[in-house]
Amino acid sequence: MEAASITETASAGPPARKLSDVVNAYALPLLLVLALVAQFAHSPHDTLDDVKTGLSNGTIWALIALGYTLVYGIVELINFAHGEVFMIGSFVSVSLWATFGVDEGTAMPLMIGSIIVVLALAMLASGTLNVLIERVAYRPLRNAPKLAPLITAIGMSFILQNVGLLWRPTPDSAPDLIGSQKDYFTIFNVGIEHSDVFAVVVTVPLLIALLWFVGSTRYGKAMRATAQDPDAARLMGIDVDRTIQLTFLLGGLMAGAAGLIYALYNGTIRFNQGFTAGLIAFTAAVMGGIGNLKGAVIGGLIIGVIQAISDSGDYLGLPLGPQWTPAVVFGVLIMVMVFRPQGLFGEETREG
Amino acid sequence: MRVRHVAALSCLLAASSFGLAACGSDNNDSGSSGTSTSASSGSKSLTIYSSLPLQGDSRAQSLSVVNGEKLALESQGNKIGNYAIKYVSLDDSTAAAGKWDPGATSGDARKAAQDKSTIGYLGEFNSGASAISIPILNEANILQVSPSNTATGLTRSLGADKGEPDKYYPSGKRTYGRVVPADHIQGAAQVSYQKDNGCTKSYLLNDKEVYGSGLAKNVVAAAKTQGLTIVGNTGIDPKAANYRSVATTIKATGADCVFFGGITDNNAVQLFKDLHAAMPTAKLFGPDGVAETAFTSKLGSSVEKVTYITNPTLDPKLYPASGQEFFKKYKAKYGADPEAYAIYGYEAMGVLLEAIKNAGAKGNDRQAVIDAFFKIKNRESVIGTYSIDENGVTTLSVYGGDRVVDGKLVFDKVIKAQTS
């Protein structure tokens, strides 16, 4: 897959690497893997179970993280409203199922059909919303100081949260169409649930499609060129505004899909789910190296696994627990940032 | 390089706001149903403020409490003696937090403290919020009556944290009271209810708030006296997407019952669903903090069957005639059955008005009203006859056990709790 990073130099050959660079690049991932292996040796079955839960949770974070990383890569803006775009994706999905009258009792083929149709519609809704946000709150500020769009982004986030609050003031249940927590099959004594399979089956094709789009199409090339140097890209005849719009659309599509998966996976949706999810996904994007698509995905999966292990309350005999999970996640983030400010898979981005 | 710094900095910002969900939100009086006019003390118009979470999951419960308070005021013709009483409903929650918020709470308390016509303050709904508003109102010497606070540490030192309750009363005098029994009683009732339903090993979870973690401690203490094994007591992250790993861990302990000390706003529905999925036969217990429609209507039929809730509100039939009358009047006026705490809203207003009445000609004197409140004895109220003890707490100690049927709270039985 060519150019997994949106900010990667488009045509330069592989840079010469010094040994210290290689050590620097692989030491931290290795350390994280070692930490996991140690935990596995400590209690094999629990760890496998946590890794399973963590990875499937992580796919949702990964999809949202992609939106942050795409947008940051191209306009160097942290789209704080992205978490809310994801929340709207959940709300649209559940509302559509209610409108179509689809619930647990619907016949299987119809149900699968409805999931596919609603997935497309939710993605479209979130994508459109993200494009609108860009048009209204970010584009007029393209040449303003960096802080201005940051503040409008936080503003959009709160506005959308209040839209969610008006729409569904209390948590609502999503129909359990996929039998979320029923075991699909068991491997190494770990039950793989319907929701785990569902999350992977929806996420993986989307990821492959996105990587292909950014890496191998003309539009993707235009995105990478714009990310590298918007002015030069404009001189080369690239419609920069259109390209930025496209980036927001792609990020929104992923968030919409994540919204649908979240609704079916967890079974409960609430207006402030986007706030937490957004922070976690943003953390994933930063941990993986912001601007790097593969980094965002792997960052999401890593955070999912860290959360699951911390939640189950015992790391190598250290009594963790759900009350410490946010601290553990951000502790690991700080460790990664201190030793590798560009993130695990980050590359040098455009000099500011 | 600058790029990275911006990213790292914003991430730290993001990380720090993780725990402070309320960043940039200060709409603490968005639910205000009236504006305060400043009148000098000695005027004939007095103001009673109510402060409740009008946003988030507690909204329905809070609105129902407001209705109860209004009904009680109307039943007195909106006046006591020569004093016209004005009622102002404030909001101690923010949309961003989705529940009560420290900033909004202190804003409400300050608003009441600065209004010279203020004679009483009804609230907060949540114990953690009252821990913030009590000191502010205490310095302003305003009588505060909560319709729903149950955390023991607000009024007594036994079973409380270090420094409680004195740290809440900077003036050195008591100004706060409540009309529901405190949580040492609910803790005992909760354990009795669990034992009645065949629990042998119980796992406790709490939402880390003043109320939730305090209640969990009280359950631990009661379990010791009553002989119920507690296999764990853990705080949860109320913002987590789900609790699957937590549920798996609890399952591994062999617990047959799980108790959650916390409120609906702190992700209780998701927690109960995930617990039930991992442990289909385990019985799940909740406290009065989830005794509301926002919780019960979202559980689904399968979780309902294993859900047990302790709640100070009893079946209407068990209340005196005036209490039964309340349920009828409420339904006639608002077209729906009241939420669990509406009757306590009615009573909180009722007892506050009685204190003003008992203060007589000094009904506009804050200290006289506080003194009158602490002297209330054998008050015949909608929830039964009770007195206010030296800590400002009702002498009633009855708790009910509830089940959930078709999304609604259904009274199960009166719990005979063995308190120490």
Closest CA to B267 of B307, B313, B210, B208: B208
Closest CA to A65 of A281, A258, A265, A276: A281
The verdict on a CB contact (< 8 Å) between A341 and B8 is yes
pLDDT tens digits for range B87-109: 999 999 987 788 899 999 999 99
Contacts of A309 in chain B (CB under 8 A): 245
Q: Which residue of B has its CA nearest to A79?
A: B10
Mutation site for B-interface testing, chosen from A181, A196, A324 by largest number of B Cβ within 10 Å: A181
User: What integer pLDDT is reported at residue B129 of this predicted model?
Assistant: 94
The verdict on a CB contact (< 8 Å) between B241 and A180 is no
Contacts of A167 in chain B (CB under 8 A): none
Terminal-residue alpha carbon distance, chain A: 28
The verdict on a CB contact (< 8 Å) between B25 and A158 is yes
Domains and CATH numbers, chain B: 27-181+322-386 (3.40.50.2300), 183-311+399-415 (3.40.50.2300)
Calculate Rg over the CA atoms of chain A.
20
The nearest CA of chain A is from the CA of B277 a distance in Å of 6
The verdict on a CB contact (< 8 Å) between A352 and B18 is no
Q: Exposed/middle/buried for B45, CB within 10 Å: 0-12, 13-18, 19+?
A: middle
Nearest to B234 among A276, A308, A322 (CB): A322
The verdict on a CB contact (< 8 Å) between B14 and A282 is yes
Within a domain: A38: yes
The verdict on a CB contact (< 8 Å) between A325 and B240 is yes
Tokens of B414: 């009166």
User: What integer pLDDT is reported at residue A18 of this predicted model?
Assistant: 67
Nearest to A272 among B3, B98, B245 (CB): B98
Mean pLDDT value of segment B312-330: 93
The verdict on a CB contact (< 8 Å) between A326 and B25 is no
Within a domain: A26: yes
pLDDT tens digits for range A302-351: 999 999 988 887 888 788 888 888 899 999 889 888 888 888 887 644 43
pLDDT tens digits for range B183-210: 999 999 999 999 999 999 999 999 998 8
User: How many Cβ atoms from other residues are within 10 Å of residue A37's Cβ?
Assistant: 11
Q: Is A248 in the B-facing interface, judged by CB distances under 8 Å?
A: no
Q: Is A290 in the B-facing interface, judged by CB distances under 8 Å?
A: yes
The verdict on a CB contact (< 8 Å) between A341 and B4 is yes
Within a domain: A351: no
Interface of A with B in 194-213 (CB under 8 A): none
Q: Which residue of B has its CA nearest to A56?
A: B244
The CATH number covering residue A133 comes to 1.10.3470
The nearest CA of chain A is from the CA of B254 a distance in Å of 15
User: What integer pLDDT is reported at residue A315 of this predicted model?
Assistant: 84
Contacts of A181 in chain B (CB under 8 A): 244, 274, 277-278
Contacts of A322 in chain B (CB under 8 A): 234-237, 240, 243, 245-246
The verdict on a CB contact (< 8 Å) between B14 and A72 is no
Nearest to A165 among B55, B243, B273 (CB): B55
Within a domain: A143: yes
The nearest CA of chain A is from the CA of B268 a distance in Å of 10
User: What integer pLDDT is reported at residue B33 of this predicted model?
Assistant: 38
User: What integer pLDDT is reported at residue A166 of this predicted model?
Assistant: 84
Closest CA to B355 of B335, B376, B334, B336: B376
The verdict on a CB contact (< 8 Å) between A265 and B208 is no
DSSP letters for B30-89: TT-SS------TTSSEEEEEEEE--SSTTHHHHHHHHHHHHHHHHHTTTEETTEEEEEEE
Contacts of B246 in chain A (CB under 8 A): 311-313, 322
SS3 A135: helix
- Quickly state the pLDDT bin for B5 (edges 50, 70, 90): low
The verdict on a CB contact (< 8 Å) between B3 and A352 is yes
Q: Exposed/middle/buried for B377, CB within 10 Å: 0-12, 13-18, 19+?
A: exposed
Is the predicted pLDDT of residue B39 greater than 70, yes or no?
A: no
Angle between helices A325-339 and A293-311 (to 10 degrees): 140
- φ and ψ of B149, to 5 deg: -65, 135
On average, the pLDDT of chain B sits at 87
The verdict on a CB contact (< 8 Å) between A150 and B2 is no
Closest CA to B348 of B317, B390, B383: B383
Contacts of A76 in chain B (CB under 8 A): 3, 6
Closest CA to B129 of B22, B222, B239: B22
User: What integer pLDDT is reported at residue B419 of this predicted model?
Assistant: 58
User: What integer pLDDT is reported at residue B14 of this predicted model?
Assistant: 46
Beta-bridge mates of residue B201 = B229
More confident residue, B70 or A12: B70
The nearest CA of chain A is from the CA of B118 a distance in Å of 31
Q: Can you say how many angstroms the Cα of residue A281 is from the centroid of all Cα atoms in its chain?
A: 5
Q: Is A84 in the B-facing interface, judged by CB distances under 8 Å?
A: no
Q: Which residue of B has its CA nearest to A47?
A: B245
Alpha carbons within 13 angstroms on the beta-carbon side of residue B59 total 14
Within a domain: A6: no
The nearest CA of chain B is from the CA of A343 a distance in Å of 10
Q: Is A333 in the B-facing interface, judged by CB distances under 8 Å?
A: yes
The verdict on a CB contact (< 8 Å) between A158 and B241 is no
Q: Can you say how many angstroms the Cα of residue A23 is from the centroid of all Cα atoms in its chain?
A: 27
Closest CA to B359 of B119, B53, B33: B119
Mark out the alpha helices in B253-312 (DSSP H runs). 268-278, 293-296, 301-304
User: How many Cβ atoms from other residues are within 10 Å of residue B420's Cβ?
Assistant: 12
- φ and ψ of A30, to 5 deg: -60, -40
Total number of domains constituting chain A: 1
Spell out the per-residue pLDDT of chain A, length 352, in tens.
444 566 654 444 455 566 666 777 778 888 888 888 888 888 888 888 888 889 999 999 999 999 999 998 888 888 999 999 999 999 999 999 888 888 888 888 888 898 999 999 999 999 999 999 999 999 899 888 888 998 999 999 999 988 988 888 777 888 888 887 777 888 888 888 888 888 999 999 999 999 999 989 999 999 999 988 888 999 999 999 999 999 999 999 999 999 999 999 988 898 888 988 999 999 999 989 888 888 999 999 999 999 998 888 788 878 888 888 889 999 988 988 888 888 888 764 443 3
Closest CA to B382 of B418, B347, B355, B339: B347
The verdict on a CB contact (< 8 Å) between A349 and B57 is no
Within a domain: A102: yes
With contact defined as beta carbons under 8 Å apart, do A258 and A89 qualify? yes
The nearest CA of chain A is from the CA of B72 a distance in Å of 28
pLDDT tens digits for range B265-317: 899 999 999 999 999 999 999 999 999 998 999 998 999 999 999 999 999 99
Within a domain: A220: yes
User: What integer pLDDT is reported at residue A25 of this predicted model?
Assistant: 72
- φ and ψ of A345, to 5 deg: -115, 15
SS3 B258: strand
- Boundaries of domain holding A113: 19-339
Within a domain: A260: yes
Distance of alpha carbon B269 from alpha carbon B296, whole angstroms: 8
Q: How far is CA B64 from CA A279, B320, B330, in A?
A: 34, 21, 9
Interface of A with B in 22-51 (CB under 8 A): 46, 49-50
Distance of alpha carbon B66 from alpha carbon B73, whole angstroms: 11
Mean pLDDT value of segment B359-381: 94
User: What integer pLDDT is reported at residue A6 of this predicted model?
Assistant: 67
Tokens of B155: 């009024």
Distance of alpha carbon B338 from alpha carbon B343, whole angstroms: 8
Q: Which residue of A has its CA nearest to B208?
A: A323
Tokens of B382: 């909608």
